[in-house]
Amino acid sequence: MDHSHAHGLAVFSYSLAFVTGLLGSGHCLGMCGGLVSAFFMRLQARGIWPYLAYHGARLGVYASVGLIAAGLGAVLVQTGSFGKWQGVLQIVAGLVVILLGLDLLGVSPLRNSVGFAPLAWLRRQFGLATEKGPLLGAAIGGAINGLMPCSMTMAMAVKATTAPSVLEGGLLMLAFGAGTLPAMLSASVLFGKLGPKVRGWLLKGAALFVIALGISTLWQGIDYYLVMRKLLG
């Protein structure tokens, strides 16, 4: 695969990740809008800095998850014949991402119940974060928000395992997080103003982009595996 083609695929993945986050705004507001609004009411934050700390920490967690996922993907690939296993990893990741997209649409035979940390513990720590002060509390709350179970976030993390480098895995998750910023930054204002029907349509759009990302990953994996099988024998 030449450099320009690989660069084009990377930009395509970043774009899909960003648009998924953007279209997932309705899902974000439905799942986390109330939590974020209540959090800042309890925090009694003044000025813009607590909000920047919250969302900066949230995006930092997304980027960290992407770096870790890409690192794990690289380790898995290096346990065997590099080229072939990289293709297999992309195929498996593509199938998992497609299933997570179908889960978002509500038509998956398997429901996602996997998170980055135990949900009960996350909720407890999220509530306690408001006692840590405006800036530190906001940063802790944002970091915990980034770890909360979400099929879209999980799909991006699975996709990050196939990134060509650890840095690109982090950038993929960062692109997704940037897409969620408009809705999450204004969650306290917009929450409740987007009706269930609008949020539902936005979620369907995000799910379709997740599925497209999964199909792209699956196709890349099959293509890469076939090429490497011929080269390696």
Q: Using the 8-state DSSP alphabet, how is residue 46 labeled? A: -
Q: For residue range 152-177, what is the model confidence (pLDDT) as tens digits? A: 888 888 888 888 889 999 999 999 99
Q: For residue range 31-87, what is the model confidence (pLDDT) as tens digits? A: 676 677 778 878 877 888 888 999 999 999 999 999 999 998 887 766 655 556 677
Q: 195's torsion region: left (phi>0), alpha (psi -120 to 50) or beta?
A: beta
**pLDDT mean over 82-95:** 72
Which residue is listed with tokens 């890349």? Answer: 220
C-alpha–C-alpha distance, residues 155 and 213, integer Å: 9
The pLDDT value given to residue 56: 94
Q: How confident is the model at residue 30 (pLDDT cuts 50, 70, 90)?
A: low
The pLDDT value given to residue 191: 47
Q: How confident is the model at residue 202 (pLDDT cuts 50, 70, 90)?
A: low
The pLDDT value given to residue 120: 78
Is 22 in contact with 203 (CB distance < 8 Å)?
no
Q: Which of 103-112, 124-133, 212-221 shows the lowest per-residue confidence on average (mean pLDDT)?
A: 103-112
Q: Using the 8-state DSSP alphabet, how is residue 148 labeled? A: S
* Amino acid occupying residue 123: R
The pLDDT value given to residue 223: 78
Cβ neighbours, 10 Å, residue 128: 13
C-alpha–C-alpha distance, residues 183 and 126, integer Å: 20
Q: For residue range 120-136, what is the model confidence (pLDDT) as tens digits? A: 788 888 888 988 888 89
Is 169 in contact with 66 (CB distance < 8 Å)?
yes
